Each structure stands twice: as structure tokens, then as C-alpha cells.
Amino acid sequence: MRDRLRRLPAVDTLLAQRELQELSEIHGREQVVAAARQQLAAARSAILQAQPAAADTCALITKISAQLERQARPSLRPVINATGVILHTNLGRAPLSPAAAAALQAAALGYSALEYDLEAGRRGSRLQHASAALRALTGAEDALVVNNNGAALVLILSALASGREVILSRGQLLEIGGGFRIPDIMRQSGAQLVEVGTTNRTRSADYAAAISERTALLLRVHASNFKQIGFVEEAPLAALSALSREHKLPLVDDLGSGTLIDTAPFGLAREPTIQESVAAGCDLVCFSGDKLLGGPQAGIIIGKAPLIARLKRHPLTRVLRVDKLTYAALLATLRHYQRGEALTRLPVWRMISRPLPEIQAQAQAWAQLLGGEVRSGESTVGGGSLPGASLPTALLAFEAGSAQGLAARLRQAEPPVIARIADDALLLDPRTVLPEQVPDLLRALKAALAAG
């Protein structure tokens, strides 16, 4: 044991090696010194416990290099989503289109006219960048972009209802991701919640009976992340719009996910569109940018110009504003809709509209290369959108050995592959694998199967 300890090289000896000098240029000398000391300490501990140890210089250098590589690897890394969940919240929801990614990169690499009026030659406002496109696509009078849809609702309530009452159906007291609940958001904004109706049935008459001189607005929150079935009734937006006009109160529609495209033709449950809320007479409509819209994370508010103007003047708007990168990606995303190419250019809609025979053919091709069994299955939209709705798909399934072990090895690949496990089988869904990621997926799967 003592001989093995004596043969361990000193830190200075290791640092004098050419490989570690090169690593010092890449990672910095302090990082290399720390890694060398840690690996020597690990080797010393293993020797004292009579365990195998990387004790020679070459083995230690390999360990140090691997440690530095792990440390340098960012925690926010690209992954391959083979789960079949299209808007996977844990995996960043909507992938951007190549055009949106290019626009984001162009904005990031140089200066941009974020708050500069090029025609007038003086300071402008960042709040105007997405307005024209959103007006054209939705029919709204004006628009405002903040950092997410929860922030959009907080801003609306803070600006229009602080210290006053907001009427909402009991069936819409939902909880969004991360444990954030509508009543808590209401409290934070300073508005007072007035619940009407019952959990499963609310009529426009219930809203009418609750209106008082303290009422600030009527609120509809679309249940985009859960579904009620059976003895259910909800007041139509048109009826609420008429009621709001009668009492001169704003009607606000929180769509949650929000879509510009009808989902029904793709075999999904019908999701109310943003345009329909505007046409129904809603004064303000808010929705997410990174769900069914297929763009970057953002909260988008559209509606009547005087109300949007009030929101823009509120102090929270500066707190919740988005940066140039979000605007760049969002504008590029909206251009896909304006050009009528959303189904072919936006990854989210390509996945939703992808034909089943094409997915089956890809799963069969993977099975021929690597084995496994092709099974029928279901993909889901996810991301708090279209609860309970699914799309038929084909899955590549592996049952041999430990599904958990295979999944773990796939997560260690570069890039990591995220699969799902059901009934003790590992399942990979081609629907959510981007075309350019297929070679990496097959390489990772081949290595993971061989290692198992």
C-alpha cells in the first residue's frame, strides 16, 4: 500500500505534463490544479481502501481531462426529445424554426434598433415591434409582449383591477405549472376575486348577478391544462361580451396556450383560436408565445387600443418587458403565419400535422437498423395544451434488459436522448425527433444498446 502511495505523482509533476498545460489554456490553470488535486485525493483514498485506483500519470491525466470536460459542460444543453410529448415543458416547450433561430442569432451578434426610430433618428419604443404583425393576424387594435402569460395576467389585473373586484367562474380557478394558482395571482395583483357559478356549471346570469359598483372587469380563464366532462356548462364568450358592453366593463380572456390555427383538422380536440376571442368581443386576450404559437417564451396581450395603452403606462410593464432576442424570434415566428407557412416551417405544427404513415415508416427503418419492436401508440401535445388529446403514432420499443438502465445510458449520450418508459419497455417516438437529430439519436441508441 505504501509503495502504491509513494508512486502517486505530485501535483507539480502532473501540471508539468504537456496535456495538462494544454488543458490549462482551455479551462484555466486554477481549474486544472483543482481537478488534479481532486483526482489525486480520489486515487489516494482508493489505495487506502485497497481498491483499484488510477495511480499512474497517464491514467490520472485521463481522469483529470474527463472531470474538466464534465465541469465545462453547461447544464442547459440541447437534448433529443423522443418522448412523443410535443410541447415538453421540462425540455423547453416549442423548438424554434430555423428562421427564428437565425433572427435571434442576428440580433444577438450585433446592435439592433430595439429602442431607436430609424426614420425619425431618435429614441423609439421596444413595445411596438410585434404590434403590426399581431394586429394583422388577430384583428386586434394593438398588442403588448411581456415575458410569459402568467406575467400578462398579473399586468392586466394590476393595471385595470387593483383594489377592485374581478368576476370569474368557479370552474376556472385553475392552477398553472409550478403550483401557481389563479386566486394567488389575483391576490398578488391587488384585485379581489369574486367567484360565480359552480365547479361544473356557470351561466352568464351568474356573472350578471355578481356585478356591482366595485367590479373592474369580467375574466374568462380557458382551461387549457385540464378538461371537464359530463354535466358541464360554461358561459359563451358572446354572452359575456354582451354583458360587459351593457355594464361598460372590460372582458378579459386568458387563453393560456392560445393558437392561431384550428386544431380540429388534425384529429385533436378543438382549441378556441385567438382570432375567435377577438371576434367575440373580448377587450383583452392573453396567451403564450412558446406553446401552440411555436415561438419563444413570451406572454402576448392583444385587444382594444385604449386598454393596451393603459397597460403600457403601468410600471410593471418595464419589469416584465422582453429583450431583443425574444422580439427577434417572435417576429420571425409570426412571419411564418403571415406567409401561410406555419404548418411546414414551425416544428410544433410540423409534428402535429405529420402523417402517421410517415412516422410508421421511420420507426420501421430504425427497427431494421437497431432491432426493437414497432408498436402503435399515442403522442401528446403537452405544455398545458389540449388536455386529454392525443395523436396516433408509431413507437420503437425495447424490452430486453433494464429499461431504466437503457434510458439512463441514453441520457448520458451527447446530445442526451430523452425517451419514455411504459410497461417495463423503453419507447422512442419519431414524431418529436427533429430531422437533423436522427443520426445522433441512432448513434446514441446503438452505443447504449451495446453497453447494456
CB-CB neighbours of 179 under 10 Å: 7
Positions of CATH 3.40.640.10 in the chain: 96-341
Residue 387's identity, in one-letter code, is P
**Which CATH code is given to the segment(s) 80-90+347-451?**
3.90.1150.110
Specify the pLDDT at position 225: 62
Query: What does DSSP say about strands 417-418 and 385-398: parallel, antiparallel, or unpaired?
Result: unpaired
Do residues 330 and 145 make contact, with C-beta atoms less than 8 angstroms apart?
A: yes
What mean pLDDT, rounded, does the chain reach? Answer: 92
CATH classification number, 96-341, choose in 3.40.50.2300, 3.40.640.10, 3.30.1360.120, 3.40.50.12280: 3.40.640.10
Percentage helix, strand, coil, to 5, in the chain? Answer: 50, 20, 30
**Can you tell me which residue has the cell 423547453?**
92
Specify the pLDDT at position 179: 66
Cα(302)–Cα(140) distance, rounded to whole angstroms?
Answer: 6
Overall size of the chain counted in residues: 452
Cα dist from 194 to 12, 160, 162, 200, 220, whole Å: 71, 15, 13, 17, 12
Cα(298)–Cα(323) distance, rounded to whole angstroms?
Answer: 10
SS3 217: strand
DSSP H or E stretch at residue 310:
helix 305-313
Specify the pLDDT at position 270: 87
Cα dist from 21 to 13, 27, 28, 39, whole Å: 11, 10, 9, 16
CA distance from start to end of the chain: 34
Q: What angle do the packed helices 356-370 and 438-451 form, to 10 degrees?
A: 40
**Can you tell me which residue has the cell 446530445?**
415
Do residues 359 and 431 make contact, with C-beta atoms less than 8 angstroms apart?
A: yes
Q: Which regions of the chain are under pLDDT 50?
A: none
Specify the pLDDT at position 5: 77
Positions of CATH 3.90.1150.110 in the chain: 80-90+347-451
Cα(173)–Cα(79) distance, rounded to whole angstroms?
Answer: 34
Peptide bond into 415 cis (omega under 30): yes
**Can you tell me which residue has the cell 370569474?**
168
DSSP H or E stretch at residue 307:
helix 305-313
For residue 333, the Cα-to-chain-centroid distance in whole angstroms is 15
Question: Residue 139: CB partners within 8 Å, gap ≥ 6?
Answer: 275, 278, 279
Query: What does DSSP say about strands 385-398 and 425-428: parallel, antiparallel, or unpaired?
Result: antiparallel
Which residues does residue 289 pair with via DSSP β-bridges, in sequence order? none
SS3 192: strand
Q: What is the pTM of this model?
A: 0.90
Q: What is the grid cell recorded at 341?
A: 407557412
296: DSSP letter: S
Specify the pLDDT at position 262: 95
DSSP H or E stretch at residue 302:
strand 299-303
Q: What is the dihedral of CA 439, 443, 446, 448, to 10 degrees?
A: -130
Which residues does residue 85 pair with via DSSP β-bridges, in sequence order? 380
Query: What does DSSP say about strands 165-169 and 192-196: parallel, antiparallel, or unpaired?
Result: parallel
Residue 257's identity, in one-letter code, is S
CB-CB neighbours of 248 under 10 Å: 6
Do residues 303 and 282 make contact, with C-beta atoms less than 8 angstroms apart?
A: yes
